[in-house]
Chain A
Amino acid sequence: MSGKPVIQVRDLTLEYKLKSGWTPAIRDISLTVYEGQIHGLVGESGSGKSTLALGLMRYMAANARITAGTILFDGQDITHLPQNELRKLWGKHISLVPQDALAALNPSLKIGQQIAEIVRLHEGISSAEAHARAVEMLNQVRIPDPEQVSRRYAHQISGGQQQRVTIAMALIARPKLLILDEPTTSLDVTTQASIIELVRDLMRERNAAALYVSHDLGVVAQLCDHVTVLYGGEVMATAPVVPLFTRPIHPYTISLLASLPRHTQATETRLRTIEGAAPALDMRTTGCAFAARCPAALDKCHAARPPLEDVGEGPDRYVRCHRWREIADGTLVIETAPGQTQGDSAPLPGHVLKAHDLNKTFNVSGMFELLTEKERTGVRALNDVSISIRARSTLGVVGESGSGKTTLARAIIGLEPADDGTIDLMNQAISLNLNGRTRDELRQMQMIFQNPNDSLNPYRTVGDALARTIKRLSPDLTRDAVRARVLSLLEAVRLTPDYANRFPNELSGGEKQRVGIARAFAAQPSLVIADEPTSALDVSVQAVILNLLKDLRAREGVSYLFISHDLRAVSYLADWIVVMYLGQIVEVGDADQVYALPSHPYTEALLSALPTPDPTVNHMPIVLEGDPPSPRNLPTGCPFHTRCPRKIGKICETDAPPWQDAGGDHAIRCHIPADELLAIQSKGAP
């Protein structure tokens, strides 16, 4: 790297005081970020990446301490710098772009004030001047109408704009080092694409150094120059982005890359997974941190911690593995090819579920509106939505927040009944409302929830939770029969029988989600509705869950309604896909058709916004203008016309678009005929 180093971390160890005593959270970390460089810090939850990111700016929890190593910032040793000196660096020379922008902004201070106070403090300028600077900065992070936005509160602007505000805050004092802590994790893909583009442009312009913390390998591959991979609080590998992704030499990096879901033609493929879960802080061993989950671990890996070794490819590539030489010269091959599912998993003829013309309007009203007002403003969450799901198949529902995908799931399960429309389960019409359904109808449809933490009762063992569901749906079973069923369910989700006696807090996130899946299957359902079942999980765990769902489909013959904002996860599991935007289906087809051209312009943008975990692919996302319109006030004509890069004219604003037949089951709701769409989309991005 040509620039001079901005921050140099040498052999840093930081410990937390736990009940069991002082425990290292990060160990022997070395890391250098240069001027003009975006350095990616990759790791799963518990890897210590946030501790490191905040620790190197010396922001630590009250129960944390640095026990070894040095931090040099701009040549100055800040390892033990007193608090009042640190404050002169924070906000001015080192700044943080936090995760979850809404929570990171003060809810009761105006946006403009929150930005302006930084320059008032560090540059001592008047409040009028500071306000002008804040507005100018909002303009630079491409917020339309910055003067207006500066007078709003955080909750009054969209999620994407909130994140832009945090970037404006971090950059206003022109810092030398910017630390970005998962700044796009809670955003939709299209918003993420525009934020990444913004960060890249601003960093290039300013020649500052940036540390970009993320668990998303795609984002890191597309944005960063150099990448450090953390696991269990240690650096596993550090390298320039291209060799790290194209020639990985650490088993963890290799396995992580192999566990990413991708769109595959064959329904019977299984993802490569990393078995087990990341070790807890106080459960780390003396050997290699990754040994317990490593497919190539030898005895010495469990016994002794490997050193961080120079790979000898220039000054910047290091790896911590006993066997990296074997991997590098090809004598040791870590298996990455996808496996095969057991059993037949092709869709069967006949439909499990057909929903026709579901509509749902949420009334935004409290008690008073109900008493006093006849006319209410409604949020149209579902607008004539029709879907059908074949037996032993998966229908994927894709869309961003506000698209109505979760409302669709809840309407089908009957928790929030649709206002009108029909639902047929196994060719029998059923009540739209949960309360109007028979016990058998309830049994047939089960749900897996997004957050396994919130959907398991913390005071019930896993066995109890499963037994309860079994007994509720088949009350005649004897105790022994119930017990046997519990054990077979645990086995089906690859948990050993002793898990029956554990409480949810003794389980990892992935294990909890497996229990959630077991509970859904306890009823022997014919349709399982999974609402973002993997979005709260780490990449390596996500692969395990996706494989499990695929195996269970073959074994139990169930169908899935799989809802996700993650197009890769959907594509891995789904046979058919519907794409939703603002409560409407805009495209429907089998998975291959939806992922190929022609696409609805919205689908096209969604697909292009997905960052590819390959830095050699030149990624050119279609960046959508602005935010999705409010569902309270839907646009006329085509709902997508306000942001559509392929808009053809007035007709898009006035007329609802017709369904265009794109061959087979593939249909696109657009004013442009399918063959014309194919022609213009083949020419490349608009």
Chain B
Amino acid sequence: MTGFLIRRIGLLVITLLITSAVIFLLTQVLPGDTARLVLGRDARPEAIAQFRAENGLDLPLPMQYVNWLTRFVTGDWGTAFTVGNAPIRPLVLERLGNSLKLAIMTGLFSVPISILLGVIAGLRENKRTDVIISVFTLSVVGLPEFVTGLILINTLALGLDWFPTASSPPGADILDWFRQLTLPALSATFVLMAYIVRMTRAGVVDELKKPYVRTAALKGLSYRTVIVRHVLRNALLPTITVIALSFGWMVGGLIVIENVFNYPGLGRLMTGAVERKDLPLLQASVMMVIFFFASANLIADLLYGLLNPRIRLE
């Protein structure tokens, strides 16, 4: 187990190193020159040269990468010139916190309802209930997030005035969480639900065909016990992986929802950095997104291994 963890964390570090190099290279080939962007289009060539020398932009690319990486790892993430030269680290971490809050809320909404629907659909395979659930979840996922988001705003916020039209990050108050995050979390739930429902349904359908289900039924156990005690613990294993991965995705992937609800998450920070060509800010936020995505992957594998006795984590 320990050996497994150490190796997996090693793999995580390698993944991050490779992606950091890729991000660095990609931001280098983006059109636009940092010195010109900072100093303005009319800056004199001498000033630009001086800026480049001061910021190490005249060094060969590998050197620039090593310098950037060293600074990044030691916590010096630089300043974001597009946000009034604010230090990047607190900015990214704050946005990351906001994104995590939204992700947690979405998880609380989507996981129980999706698993419930998926299990029901699986148990009623090809019956009317199954078809209704499948059609419903698939049509919801087919709707773009800005459509569901706008519908929610128009009905629950503007119409009924239950929620604010723009969401701000909630504090410690639980009610505030619901008030601020229900609408964006619902929107994100609609996106995720179909995946989790399909995965759960497939798991249940597969497991129901296995001989151990017959063994359990022929013990005289009730249908409910057969399902809850015997089938679900096997059927939900693949679903756990999907949930953990979606969590990683939500940290940086809810860009549209964050925009619709004007919510200051990491996704919006990233798109802003791209639009304004703020390379240091972009690099830092993308690194965070990848870190969370890769960690979610690791956690998914760990959970799967811990819950499935057939897998030995060695």
* Bind each other: yes
The reply to whether B310 and A155 form a contact with Cβ atoms under 8 Å apart is yes
Give bound CA distance, A169 to B215, whole Å.
Answer: 10
**A104 sits at the interface (CB 8 A):** yes
Contact B211 A118 (CB under 8 A): no
Check if A117 sits within 8 Å of B214, measured CB to CB.
Answer: no
Q: Could you say which of B219, B220, B222, B309 contacts A107, with CB atoms under 8 Å apart? A: B309
**A103 CB contacts on chain B under 8 angstroms:** 210-212
Residue among B219, B308, B309 facing the most chain A CB atoms (10 A cut-off): B219
Closest CB in chain A relative to B240 CB, distance in Å: 13
Q: Is the CB of B230 within 8 A of A109?
A: yes
The docked-state distance in angstroms from the alpha carbon of A656 to that of B217 is: 51
- Helix, strand, loop or mixed for chain B's interface? helix
Q: A91 vs B226: C-alpha distance in the bound complex, in angstroms?
A: 13
Q: Which residue of A lies closest to B7 (CB)?
A: A368
Closest approach, in angstroms, between the C-beta of A636 and any C-beta of chain B? 26
Q: Which of B210, B218, B234 has the most chain A CB within a 10 Å cutoff? A: B218
Which residues of the other chain, A, contact B230 by a CB distance below 8 angstroms?
A: 106, 109
In the complex, the answer to whether B234 meets A108 with C-beta atoms within 8 Å is yes
Q: Is A59 an interface residue (CB 8 A)?
A: yes
* Residues in chain B near residue A59, CB distance under 8 A: 214, 217-218
B23: chain A residues within 8 A (beta carbon): none
**8 Å CB interface, A59-96 against B:** 59, 87-92, 95-96
Interface size range of chain B in the complex:
20 to 34
What's the Cα separation between A103 and B309 when bound, in Å? Answer: 15
- Contact yes or no, A87 B233, CB < 8 A: no
B222, A87: Cβ atoms closer than 8 Å: yes
Q: Please, which residues of chain B bring their CB within 8 A of the CB of A118?
A: 219-220
CB-nearest residue of chain A relative to B4? A368
Output the least CB separation between A503 and chain B (Å): 25
- CB nearest to B213 among chain A residues: A106
A659 to B270, CA, bound (A): 75
For the complex, is A57 an interface residue (Cβ under 8 Å from B)? yes
Q: With A107-B234, A108-B310, A153-B310 in contact, do A121 and B214 touch (Cβ < 8 Å)?
A: no
Contact A104 B234, CB 8 Å, known A59-B218, A117-B221, A368-B7: no
Interface residue B290 (Cβ < 8 Å from any Cβ of A) = no
A464 contacts chain B at the CB level, 8 A cutoff: no
- Supposing A103-B212, A104-B211, A104-B212 touch, asked if A90 and B218 sit within 8 A by C-beta, the answer is yes
A95, B219: Cα distance in complex, Å: 7
In the complex, B216 has a CB within 8 A of chain A: yes
Give residues of chain B (191-216) contacting chain A, Cβ–Cβ below 8 Å: 210-212, 214-216
Among B211, B234, B308, which residue has the most Cβ atoms of chain A within 10 A?
A: B211
Question: Are A96 and B218 in contact, CB atoms less than 8 angstroms apart?
Answer: yes
Q: In the assembled complex, how far is the CB of residue A110 from the closest CB belonging to chain B, in whole angstroms?
A: 8
Task: Report B151 CB to chain A, min CB distance, Å.
Answer: 41
CA distance A368 to B8 in the complex (A): 9
A197 interfacial contact with B, CB 8 Å: no
- Say whether, besides A153-B309, A368-B7, A107 and B218 are in contact (CB < 8 Å): no
Are A109's CB and B233's CB within 8 A? yes
Chain A residues lying within 8 Å of B7, measured Cβ to Cβ, are: 368, 372
Which A residues are in CB contact (< 8 Å) with B220? 87-92, 118, 121-122
Q: What separation, in Å, do the CA atoms of A372 and B230 have in the docked complex? A: 39
A213 within 8 A of B: no
Contact status A98-B215, CB under 8 Å: yes
* Contact present for A57 and B211 (CB under 8 Å): no
Quick one: given A108-B308, A108-B310, are A98 and B219 in contact (CB under 8 Å)? no
Could you say which residues of chain A place their CB within 8 Å of the CB of B310?
A: 107-108, 153, 155
* Residues on the B chain within 8 Å of A87, using CB: 220-222
A169 engages B234 (CB within 8 Å): no
Report the Cα distance A125→B283, complex, angstroms: 63
> A90 to B217, alpha carbons, bound, how many Å?
8
> Which residues of chain B are near A106, meaning CB under 8 Å?
212, 215-216, 230, 234
Q: Quick one: which of B154-206 are within 8 Å of A by CB?
A: none
Tell me, yes or no, whether A592 is within 8 Å of chain B by CB: no
**Chain A residues closer than 8 Å to B217, beta-carbon distance:** 59, 90
Q: Which residues of A contact B218 (CB under 8 A)?
A: 57, 59, 90-91, 95-96
Q: For the complex, is A623 an interface residue (Cβ under 8 Å from B)?
A: no
Within 8 A of B (CB), among A86-142: 87-92, 95-96, 98, 100, 103-109, 117-118, 121-122
- Are A105 and B212 also in contact (CB < 8 A) when A368-B7, A372-B7 are? yes
> Which of A59, A107, A118 has the largest count of B CB atoms less than 10 A from its CB?
A107
Within 8 A of A (CB), among B298-314: 307-310
Contacts of A153 in B (CB 8 A): 309-310
Chain B contacts of A166 at CB under 8 A? 215
In the complex, which residues of chain A have a beta carbon less than 8 angstroms from the beta carbon of B221?
87, 91, 117, 121
B17 to A: closest C-beta gap in Å: 15
- A89-B220, A109-B230, A368-B7 known; A98 vs B214 contact (CB < 8 Å): yes
Structural contact, B211 and A107, CB atoms closer than 8 A = no
Residue on A nearest B210 in the bound complex, by CB: A103
Q: Which residue of A lies closest to B221 (CB)?
A: A121
Interface hits, B6-27 → A, CB 8 Å? 7
Residues of the A chain whose Cβ atoms lie less than 8 Å from the Cβ of B215 = 96, 98, 104-106, 166, 169
By a beta-carbon cutoff of 8 Å, the part of chain B in contact with chain A is: 7, 210-212, 214-222, 229-230, 233-234, 307-310
Known A92-B220, A104-B215; 5 more pairs at CB < 8 Å: A59-B217, A96-B218, A107-B309, A117-B221, A368-B7
Can you list 30 pairs linking A and B with CB atoms under 8 Å apart? A57-B218, A59-B218, A87-B222, A88-B220, A89-B220, A90-B217, A90-B219, A91-B221, A103-B212, A104-B211, A104-B214, A104-B215, A105-B212, A106-B212, A107-B212, A107-B308, A108-B233, A108-B234, A108-B307, A108-B308, A108-B309, A108-B310, A109-B233, A117-B219, A117-B229, A118-B219, A118-B220, A169-B215, A169-B219, A368-B7
Would you list the 4 A-B pairs with minimal beta carbon distance, nearest first? A91-B220, A91-B219, A90-B220, A103-B211
By a beta-carbon cutoff of 8 Å, the part of chain A in contact with chain B is 57, 59, 87-92, 95-96, 98, 100, 103-109, 117-118, 121-122, 153, 155, 166, 169, 368, 372
